[in-house]
Amino acid sequence: MASAGCRNDLDEVADFETLDGSAAQSIQSAELEYSVDGVPSHRLKASSMERFSEENATWKVTDGFQLEVLSNSGGSGALLSANQGTFAEESRFLRAEGGVVLIGEGQDTLHTELLFWSADSDRVHTPERVEIRTPEGILRGTGLESDARFNRYRILQPTGRFLMDTTQQQTP
């Protein structure tokens, strides 16, 4: 007795999945942990995630998310939250939008509306207006570059008043 089977070419399946532009995969109340060489590096909590396409897959996250960037020892590092985001799997690049908050290991807190994060370079940046709350006060400006744990950052165009101590003398 002969048996019959069915086989689809993966490229044909991928083309079919994206014909109507809808998501190939959908997850509600997601909690994911990412690792590099078996060592946890990031934790993601998202209300709603949708994956588009198999080739050059992109995840769209809506209704809010939190991404915890773990320290090198696996402990809590920095916490990024936003209303929505888009993550490209291949490039490991995240675009976070709307009510973006990044809390660093030292508790400095960044507020902006748009933030780009690259897992490969472990860096974040934004061309948008920023406000950083520190124990010493509030810093404002436009544009920012930082490491992913928000330990070291630079405001590209700072604004506001700056108090400088001119009483200290520099030694040659």
**What are the chain's domains?**
23-159 (2.60.450.10)
Single pTM value for the model: 0.76
d(CA 136, CA 146): 19
In this predicted structure, what is the pLDDT of residue 84? 95
**Chain position carrying tokens 């290991």:** 105
Q: What percent of the chain has pLDDT over 70?
A: 78
| Mean pLDDT calculated for residue range 72-88 | 83
The per-residue pLDDT of the chain, averaged, comes to: 82
Tokens of 162: 């700056």
Range name among 42-46, 53-57, 127-131 with the lowest pLDDT average? 53-57
The H or E element spanning position 33 is strand 25-36
| Mean pLDDT calculated for residue range 139-161 | 91
Residue 133 burial (CB count, 10 A)? 15
Burial track 21-59 (b if 16+ CB lie within 10 A, e otherwise)? eebbeebeeeeeeeeeeeeebbbbebbbbebbeeeeebb
Residue 20: pLDDT band (50, 70, 90) is: low
- 134: DSSP letter: E
Residue 30: pLDDT band (50, 70, 90) is: confident
Q: Given its phi and psi angles, is residue 38 left (phi above 0), alpha (psi -120 to 50 degrees) or beta?
A: left
